[in-house]
Chain A
């Protein structure tokens, strides 16, 4: 493979909108230290992985933390305290960026826009994108006209017909040698990072199904075709100017420039870790007998809700577990051709769930037909003229008294009350297979001796008119609500036949009086909806907990009354229905008794784990390789959307323009936008998310933890290249940082007694 094409492996996938999950946009680069990657990216395309120093200065970082960070980096504290933001050094520019035509239109923007349009037109096609693009360009008179550039037509005719030939041609014409090729390829792809990320998603999907995709290579060929065309138009003078740029010098300049900001960044993280150390040093508070166990998703939004629920009664116990509840499922709504995954993006579904009893298929179809009539057929005129006035009622109703928002297919799922079929490649799962699956999940949740009532609480969000709605749903369920997963698992473990098989074959003896009930935590209203009867006391507890959680959250959204949140998400003009996972900062893997009495301000992912019940540390291994990666992805997505919103954030919601389910544009054209919208991380005055690397705290013995980290290369790279901070919580409540094979204790900010 050509060195240029290796650049394609440096792009992280971006999931489409209907299954929007968070991802670390630098995921393929974790084999290098984060600091190196940051400088390199800054040199290649002006990417920002850090905040300006003025931002850190406003964070109220304790001087001890700053001093410690300064000492760690070997920088003088006084210098650090007085350092000011300097404009960043130049970054590498492509030929298209350097080239300028007389009419004032920006050439690179025109090129990006043209590529973006072709991608949008031909993205769903199975055949070569480059060929589609070439055919399109050869018909296209627009750009030549617009840029007053008649030669363009001839140049397009000269382009080779295959992407490989195009890459070879451009490489030779531009004189790219092997040493720089990967970096340059990466830089070119960064200019169309949105579509490149969408293409990387296709590669990711293909890899999961064992096939291969060429989309990124094709995209790179298109981008290089434009470089080649630019070169022909501009002539050798521009080439000389372009070749004069030295990547290594640029990288060095950026390393130097970013040095103080890194110390500030580290100081902010240290400050947080020291405060956590103080909190976690408090004595644990175990629950003796529990009446009610509620298992929540590890999501940071579960933390205030769990606290609120536990506050209702001493016999309530909550647990944290990945929100897909261990079910490797996808959903195929009965009667249609659509399917979607309901599990973390790292995995592909191996089981498919569908409705066992008939459901109405007419509703969605009728809606779809009307849409096609008005938007894609010659009937559009008649349809608008005869039915248009009716929209005045829709407009008035939605403005004055909006109804609860929901995708049509999700509403249908909610209304369905029957059983679900669970199928694998061979056929429907019988009770023995279901028992085997359920036994594993129950053991992983440490629920082999459950309370009389167990609530399995998934989560989802109600928000209207929001292309990024899936980003507020459960990330562990592929950006869907956790509803299907909890309903299916509940159906399995309440089934008498499955219980019998559990007892006889799996050695999991669930008491006869123990009932599982599926529930859904609506993260925008903080209501908990139960899919089965729970009794009056529990209902009251849940209602009181909801009220408490709402009143804690309301001020953050600028509301004085918690009840305002009940309808906030219904409003189609509300661009901030909730704050989502904003300000996430740590992931604690420990039994609840270590954290039950603590307040984490909705910044913490919480996963229950008791190493005493994990014989071979297989479960710890699973937690570090799956949920930890997911939380790291979420953390990095929020960080990147704040540090470089132009590239890793999807921009201003007020201008969003949907492109199918692929993503949004900001305004009329330009690159596809990935990541979080500006409104999702900013309240108009300040950032609501403070970018800091995830702090992972694991209560486990030292050696097994170190073994697992060193055994898994991705985990080791995350830890040792400092993409996250891994801390071990020992029995005395002290924190020890594991970094490059060594443990070092983290100081608490006030002396801990005992």
Chain B
């Protein structure tokens, strides 16, 4: 009975966004419906977490699914509420709402379903809806470039993921994701290939170097698009890896691929973030780096933490984007308090790290967490360490750890952490001019991607100077 109830709830949830997009309902209604979807997601989450109900095999039975669903519907609702007034007076406001609803439809379908074809449909649908939103101001040449680049990468990611599912289908003859991604014992060649392809899809989807450029250029789209993209869409790569945990944790090659690519991205993007001059570009680089950490955690087997990171980063980034206009306050505070605000405290960091290590936090995780303990000041460090442990325990209840990383992975992450700290210290030195130039431009990796994109998809007739279209229409009329 409960199962039927939950199924009905999830069906309603899946239908709510596409129906409201097709019925072209008004903004006020759409916002209420967005809130309703959030409520449904909360109830279905509670049923699964507290009530222990598991939906039928049509729906994803994975414990990560309700978490991601809750995060996405929450942010979707908030972004909708935000956009209503933010875009008031814009001629494309209604088209924007449809785009938003289709995008959310895709995400909800993908997160809820257990059927591989529905999953792929959601995956493709998301990127098509996103394409429309990125081109919300089609007359902006940079927006076009970003959208084209994203379009090409999205197709590559689809090919990789589709290929992986095809291989797995041939082996299992089942359309259910829970069957396809399940395995016991060592992987055969097909499964190995599938694992690598899934890892590749996740890396592309999460805008890891060197295919990160579009994420930075998406700053050309309206702020709420950035908020939703950075908070609800980009981390689906991580979600796929969490689903594919049984495969990934048995495939050394896939793990190594993610460890190397995401690890390097983590370091480079974090450094790039700190030298950017504009708020939104800095935030975009930060997403790139944070996605690196999330994928790294997957590759090391810390799926619970990856899920925690997915949720935490989503809310943090949604907030940062939507309230990016408050940035001036921060600039003034920095000027008021002076350049050296942080209070590094090494003994405290060492002691706390030792305690955390002894109560069972693995060294690889600690390496990336320790800079916080070092720089945050002792009160805040204690508080955050406690919060971290509590959330970690909570999420590990949902997703019990599968395996611990080997010594090689641990050593690699330690090296990354060292490189990160060393890089930040080096950037602070006045003489490190060339390093700053290189880091600022993200090692010029994206310039190659842009060139390729322009070869494949030449820039269309670009207007003489980009200016606001409404104004142009107005003055020419």
Contacts and interface: CB of A to CB of B under 8 A. Distances in A.
Contacts of A369: 337, 341-343, 376-377, 380
Contacts of B421: 378
Interface residues of A, number: 102
Contact of B90 (A148, A399, A654, A669): A654
A372 B380 CA distance: 14
A373 B223 CA distance: 23
B407 interface: no
Contacts of B311: 388-389
A222 to B, nearest CB: 16
B142 A668 contact: yes
Contacts of A511: none
A657 B281 CA distance: 8
A368 B88 contact: no
B391 A386 contact: yes
Contacts of B331: 18, 660-661
A383 interface: yes
A652 B468 contact: yes
A708 B319 CA distance: 55
A665 B282 CA distance: 13
A666 B137 CA distance: 12
A364 B337 contact: yes
B328 interface: yes
A358 interface: no
B164 interface: no
Interface in B220-261: 220-223
B74 A392 contact: yes
Interface string B69-89: 000001100100111111111
A661 B337 contact: no
A121 interface: yes
B274 interface: yes
A571 B82 CA distance: 9
A670 interface: yes
Contacts of B141: 105-106, 109
Interface string A638-655: 000000011001011011
A268 to B, nearest CB: 16
A658 B332 contact: no
Interface string B374-399: 11110010001101100100000000
B278 interface: yes
A655 B222 contact: yes
Contacts of A574: 85-86
Contact of A667 (B82, B143, B387): B143
Contacts of B391: 386, 389
B467 interface: yes
Given A654-B222, A668-B216, A678 B468 contact: yes
A655 B223 contact: yes
A387 interface: yes
Contacts of B308: 385, 389
A678 B372 contact: no
Interface in A651-687: 651-652, 654-661, 665-670, 678-679, 682-685, 687
Contact of B309 (A379, A385, A683): A385
B101 interface: no
A136 interface: yes
A651 B441 contact: no
B: interface residue count bin: 35 or more
Interface stretch (B57-65, B119-127, B286-294): B286-294
Nearest to A146: B447
B384 A658 contact: no
B140 interface: yes
Given A104-B458, A660-B331, A667-B142, A646 B278 contact: no
Contacts of B312: 384-389, 391
Nearest to A117: B277
A146 B447 CA distance: 5
A428 interface: no
Given A661-B328, A679-B89, A684-B89, A372 B334 contact: yes
B475 interface: yes
B91 to A, nearest CB: 8
A237 B322 CA distance: 49
B330 interface: yes
A106 B462 contact: yes
A668 B219 contact: yes
A550 B324 CA distance: 29
Contact of B470 (A48, A109, A669, A678): A678
A378 B477 contact: no
Interface in B314-333: 314-316, 318-319, 322-333
A573 B333 contact: no
Contact of B78 (A103, A117, A399): A399
A367 B333 contact: yes
Contacts of A666: 468
Contacts of A667: 140, 142-143, 219-220
B445 to A, nearest CB: 10
A649 to B, nearest CB: 8
A659 B142 CA distance: 18
A18 B444 CA distance: 33
A54 B475 CA distance: 9
A393 to B, nearest CB: 9
B316 A379 contact: no
Contacts of A575: 85-86, 88
B368 to A, nearest CB: 5
A148 B448 CA distance: 10
A105 B278 contact: no
Nearest to B74: A392
A383 B290 CA distance: 11
Nearest to A400: B81
A381 B277 contact: no
A483 B420 CA distance: 45
Contacts of A380: 270, 273, 286, 289-290
A666 B86 CA distance: 15
B333 A377 contact: no
Interface stretch (B11-19, B150-158, B170-178, B431-439): B431-439
Contact of A337 (B335, B384, B450): B335
Contact of A409 (B78, B140, B325, B332): B332
A382 B373 contact: yes
Contacts of A414: none
Interface string B259-298: 0000000100010011001111110001001100100000
Contacts of A142: 441, 444, 447
B385 A388 contact: no
A718 B464 CA distance: 34
Nearest to B472: A646
Contact of B315 (A392, A658, A660): A392
A139 interface: yes
B424 interface: yes
B371 interface: yes
A665 B140 CA distance: 13
B323 A398 contact: yes
A294 interface: no
A350 interface: no
A403 interface: no
Nearest to B312: A388
Given A139-B438, A365-B341, A369-B341, 12 more contacts: A52-B477, A104-B454, A105-B141, A105-B454, A106-B464, A364-B333, A365-B337, A380-B270, A408-B333, A652-B468, A658-B324, A661-B328
8 contacts: A104-B458, A109-B466, A336-B335, A380-B289, A384-B290, A388-B316, A658-B324, A668-B278
Interface of A: 17-18, 48, 51-52, 54, 85, 97, 103-106, 108-109, 117, 120-121, 135-136, 139-142, 145-146, 148, 333, 336-338, 364-365, 367-369, 371-392, 394-396, 398-399, 407-409, 464-467, 469, 571-576, 645-646, 649, 651-652, 654-661, 665-670, 678-679, 682-685, 687
By Cβ-Cβ distance, the 10 closest A-B pairs, closest first, are A684-B89, A388-B312, A382-B372, A646-B467, A104-B459, A120-B277, A336-B336, A465-B325, A338-B336, A386-B388
